[in-house]
Structure 1
Amino acid sequence: MDNFEQWILLLDSTIRIATPLLFAALAGMLSERSGIIDIGLEGKMLVSAFAGAAWAAHSGSPWQAVLVAMAAAMSLSMLHAFACITHKGDQIISGVAINMLALAITAMLGQRLIYQGVLTDDLRLMPLAFPELLPHDDTIVSLIYWQLLSGHNALVYFAFVTVLLLVVFFKFSPLGKRLSAAGENPLALNRSGVSVELTRYLSVLAGGALCGLAGAYLSLGHGAGFVDNMTVGKGFIALAALIFGQWRPVGVMLSCLLFGFLDALSIRMQGIEFFDSGYIIPVQLIEMLPYVLTVLVLAGFIGSSSAPKALGVHDKF
């Protein structure tokens, strides 16, 4: 049972680590399914994490801070949409610019606020406990119920509910079908009388809202407070998960869980011996695992992935 409990704890960590990746990857999926490349996920996560932590410290309300974090990410998404949709700018350059801008702004403002003692240690999203339906014992069902499923904050549960909502959205809703058409055949969508630009604007802004939830989770859920460059590449890992998941909600979710599992595993593997040889595996080598997988995914799948046909293409209507 001890081994099973260790696996439960590992899976619990996987879910917590995968949550911001899932929000960010779904955000990128919404944007790219409409035809707009979004590599600015990292920057939007970073800005929203900072905005959420700063507002929580100012207002004392973590849930207000979540809304502010979403607004901060959506403002950068609007900037990206304005540059790439209205002015048909280079979508890669725009995303890189957002990442650089976010890193500079949060570093400058973050240091100033941290020096002033703006921390949010006691202002985080509290975990939700499940009803007392099962006893607290060492049975398999109880361990799964209490240690794996219960005790997460609301954003964790909402991340996985969002996957289900997006499956229904793309499969059954007219707006979801229009969004997909904007990324597959925008000319046909335009000829049907639907504004491609408006559809893309809405998808990019919706993606910004989800990216804001990713950042809010980092500073208010998974952690408590803001530190410089706290995303540490999570936006790029989310981008890799998006590609690995083939721009589909369930595939993206499974990819994020895989990356989260590797990250959680790397944390628990630190300091262990290599097959009782007396050789301690270097911490740096273990911490490389999620990023090595990111490179392998981008190198091995980006050419064979089924991206939206009009992704990154500026059409003249």
Structure 2
Amino acid sequence: MNLAKEEKVGYKAPSVMGALGLLVLYFFGIAGRPGEVAFELSRRQDAVQLPSINVDAMLLGTVSGALMLLLSGLSIFYSVRNHKTPIWVSIVFGFIGVVALLGWLATGNAVPVAFIAGTALVLAVPIILGAMAGVMSERVGITNIAIEGQLLTGAFMAAVVSTITKSYTLGIIAAMVAAALLSMVLAVFAIKYLAQQIIVGVVLNVLVIGITNFLYQQWLTEDSENVNFPGTLDIIKIPLLSDVPVLGPVLFENRLTVYVALLIVPLLWFVMFKTKLGLRARAVGEHPLAADTVGVNVGRTRFWWVTLGGAIAGFGGAALTIGGGGAFGREMSGGVGFIALAVMILGRWHPIYASLAALLFGFSIILRVWANQVSPGIPSDFITMVPYVVTIIAVVGFVGRSRPPKALAQPYTKG
């Protein structure tokens, strides 16, 4: 009787966690910055006021490093038993590291917890929605490099249509429809004409950048007040929930784009992993021939999932303008679509994990601004590169063995 050889998990994850724990223990703890740091849990305008948590910064770094080393030991325990390190261990590990970093940066100052967390969430929304578009496309086997173009299209249409019509609703609809149409182009070339999907995605990105730059220069800058002055969506406070300390201002005092993003992520997870519709979509991405054999229309499934994913990315583009930034600017997506691709892979093509990874980048953006205020002596470039270094470490140490859908980027012809 032949038994398949059991795959060894290895010790890569605990090794990376142990190394990071030692770095935090030494640089933030033993060799850290002397002084106290205050973690402010409430804002001045909050109905419920919680006292700040004051702690010695070096002690915080030392305890954080020790806890991270304990978690790396737990990771070793799982590896010895040939089990992968659970995702919750990695999340707790990362959270402790973030707390240690904030404490080190703000030594002698205060950390506005609600402000940093809330702003990080807002800044992560376009990345989250772009990643959801990527998950929907790649789970059915279509590589979506065009997320950058879809976000940029949504941002342009939302700003222009909202300004002209004086309606944010029409602006959002226009953004979603335009990005969906762009996704249809990718789907048609990939499904009907069996084109190389990466090339099509790159061409679409370049095309959108060229068109929006031309229109911005020749049209928007000439009459910005009438065509590129949309303002932003109003902040909606949910009664009672917005008064909950810390979580209230972060989750329940936001613009519509944030609330919709928070609904889309669990909804996509439920549809993809708990319904027959999601099972068929994943089957198309894993084994299209088998799906076709049981009656699933592979081409139609891929087409609509890619198109709907594009509509979600278009909504993410709207979040860049009327969801926070206001007026449209040249190439204002700034590589967010490519970051969305990275967090999709980091999140193992899973909606919730990808969203958590996206929060890392949202956190990095606000961290760069905030760190310059509390620690002006620390180079901003160092702060900027931290999340990207962490992402590389995470991909190498934790996600190196993640497997994309088996039929990803593989054209399928019936029969």
Cα distance in structure 1, aligned partners of 2:334 and 2:239: 36
Range with greater deviation from structure 2 (122-131 or 285-294): 285-294
- Compared with structure 1, are the counterparts of its residues 47 and 254 closer, same or farther at alpha carbon in structure 2 (3 Å cutoff)? same
Contact 1:24–1:210 at 8 Å: present in 2 too? yes
Cα distance in structure 1, aligned partners of 2:306 and 2:333: 21
Structure-1-length-normalised TM-score: 0.90
Cα distance in structure 2, aligned partners of 1:17 and 1:127: 15
Cα distance in structure 2, aligned partners of 1:126 and 1:200: 36
Equivalence for 1:50: 156
Residue 4 in structure 1 maps to residue 50 in structure 2: no
From 320, 323, 328, the counterpart of 1:218: 320
User: For 1:5-44, what aligned pairs fall within 5 Å after superposition?
Assistant: 5=42, 6-44=112-150
Deviation at 1:70, TM superposition (A): 0.4
Which amino acid counterpart does residue 200 of structure 2 have in structure 1? S
Equivalence for 1:189: 291
Equivalence for 2:61: none
Alignment deviations for residues 129-162 of structure 1 (CA, whole Å, 9 cap, x no partner): 1215686xxxxx43432x2223211121111111
Cα distance in structure 2, aligned partners of 1:150 and 1:167: 21
From 85, 88, 109, the counterpart of 2:191: 85
Equivalence for 1:304: 401
Structure-2-length-normalised TM-score: 0.69
Cα distance in structure 2, aligned partners of 1:99 and 1:185: 29
Secondary structure of 1:18's counterpart equals helix
Contact 1:271–1:281 at 8 Å: present in 2 too? no
Cα distance in structure 2, aligned partners of 1:75 and 1:134: 37
Cα distance in structure 1, aligned partners of 2:196 and 2:300: 19
Which amino acid counterpart does residue 231 of structure 1 have in structure 2? S
Which amino acid counterpart does residue 220 of structure 2 have in structure 1? L
- Compared with structure 1, are the counterparts of its residues 285 and 215 closer, same or farther at alpha carbon in structure 2 (3 Å cutoff)? same
Contact 2:361–2:387 at 8 Å: present in 1 too? yes
From 202, 217, 240, the counterpart of 1:96: 202
Contact 2:321–2:327 at 8 Å: present in 1 too? yes
Equivalence for 1:115: 222
User: For 1:201-212, what aligned pairs fall within 5 Å after superposition?
Assistant: 201-212=303-314
Cα distance in structure 1, aligned partners of 2:396 and 2:187: 27
Equivalence for 1:172: 274
- Compared with structure 1, are the counterparts of its residues 53 and 132 closer, same or farther at alpha carbon in structure 2 (3 Å cutoff)? same
Which amino acid counterpart does residue 201 of structure 2 have in structure 1? G
Equivalence for 2:102: none
Tell me how many residue pairs correspond in the alignment: 306
Cα distance in structure 2, aligned partners of 1:50 and 1:296: 35
Contact 1:238–1:256 at 8 Å: present in 2 too? yes
Equivalence for 1:130: 238
Deviation at 1:171, TM superposition (A): 2.2
Deviation at 1:208, TM superposition (A): 0.5
Alignment deviations for residues 19-54 of structure 1 (CA, whole Å, 9 cap, x no partner): 111111001000000000001101110111011111
Cα distance in structure 2, aligned partners of 1:82 and 1:297: 35
Deviation at 1:254, TM superposition (A): 1.1
Alignment deviations for residues 252-307 of structure 1 (CA, whole Å, 9 cap, x no partner): 1111112222222122112554xxxxx82233333334444555566667752221
Deviation at 1:204, TM superposition (A): 0.3
Contact 1:19–1:159 at 8 Å: present in 2 too? yes
Cα distance in structure 2, aligned partners of 1:32 and 1:198: 15
Equivalence for 1:314: 411
Deviation at 1:8, TM superposition (A): 1.3
Secondary structure of 1:27's counterpart equals helix
CA RMSD of aligned residues (A): 2.1
Cα distance in structure 1, aligned partners of 2:221 and 2:395: 36
Computing the radius of gyration over CA atoms, which structure comes out larger, 1 or 2? 2
Cα distance in structure 1, aligned partners of 2:143 and 2:307: 13
Runs of 5+ consecutive residues of structure 1 not aligned to the other structure: 136-140, 274-278
Deviation at 1:120, TM superposition (A): 4.9
Secondary structure of 1:115's counterpart equals coil
- Compared with structure 1, are the counterparts of its residues 220 and 71 closer, same or farther at alpha carbon in structure 2 (3 Å cutoff)? same
Residue 69 in structure 1 maps to residue 183 in structure 2: no
Cα distance in structure 2, aligned partners of 1:299 and 1:109: 41
Which amino acid counterpart does residue 170 of structure 2 have in structure 1? Q
Equivalence for 1:247: 349
Cα distance in structure 2, aligned partners of 1:300 and 1:314: 31
Which protein, 1 or 2, shows the higher relative CO under an 8 Å CA cutoff with sep ≥ 6? 1
Which amino acid counterpart does residue 142 of structure 1 have in structure 2? P
Which amino acid counterpart does residue 113 of structure 1 have in structure 2? L
Which amino acid counterpart does residue 213 of structure 1 have in structure 2? F
Deviation at 1:2, TM superposition (A): 5.6
Cα distance in structure 1, aligned partners of 2:342 and 2:385: 15
Secondary structure of 1:142's counterpart equals coil
Runs of 5+ consecutive residues of structure 2 not aligned to the other structure: 1-37, 43-111
